[in-house]
Structure 1
C-alpha cells in the first residue's frame, strides 16, 4: 500500500508525506501493519520514519530513522491516534504525539 499524507504541525507548518507499508487482518479479525514514511519539507529536506500500526484500541507507534538536510541524524519516536475516519475507511485524520531531535 502506498499513500500520500498532508502533515499539518501544531505551529501551522505543512509538509508532504509519502508512506509505503502493508496492512492485514489475522484469524481473530485483529488488524495490523507496518511500514515507513518520507516527510518532505517545503525546502526539500526529508525525514524518514518507520511505523507499526496498533489495534483499534491502541495507538500506532513511530520511530525516526534519520533524514536529509536539517533532519540528517535526527532521532525520535512517538504515537499516533486516529481521531476520525471516513465511512469507507479509506481516509482518516490522526493526531501524533512524540518528539523529534535534530542536530
Structure 2
C-alpha cells in the first residue's frame, strides 16, 4: 500500500465520510480558463477527484454559486464498498441548495416568462 493509500485509510479510521472541494477554483467560464489569472494567482485547476477514483465511492454535487455567479461543487467520499453514506450526504447537499440558478440564467428565465 502506497503512502497516499495509507493516508486515506487512516482518514476512514477516524471519519465515516469526507467532504472535499472538487477543484481548487469555481467553474470556468464558457470560453475557458484565464491562463494569465491562473499564472498570477498560481491556481492550477487540477481536479481533486482522481485521488478517490480507485475503490472509493465518491460523488460530486453542486454546492452553490461563487460571487461571480459560477457554480461551485463539493465531492463526498465514503470508505470502500460503502456507497450509502456518500449518496445520502449528496441528497442532503442538493436538497439544501435547491436548483442552481446562475444570475444570467435566472435573468433569461424571468425575461422568457414575461414574454
Q: Shared topology, TM-score over 0.5? A: no
Which protein has the bigger helix share? 2
- Max radius of gyration: which structure? 2
TM-score (norm. length: structure 2): 0.25
Which protein has the bigger strand share? 1
TM-score (norm. length: structure 1): 0.27
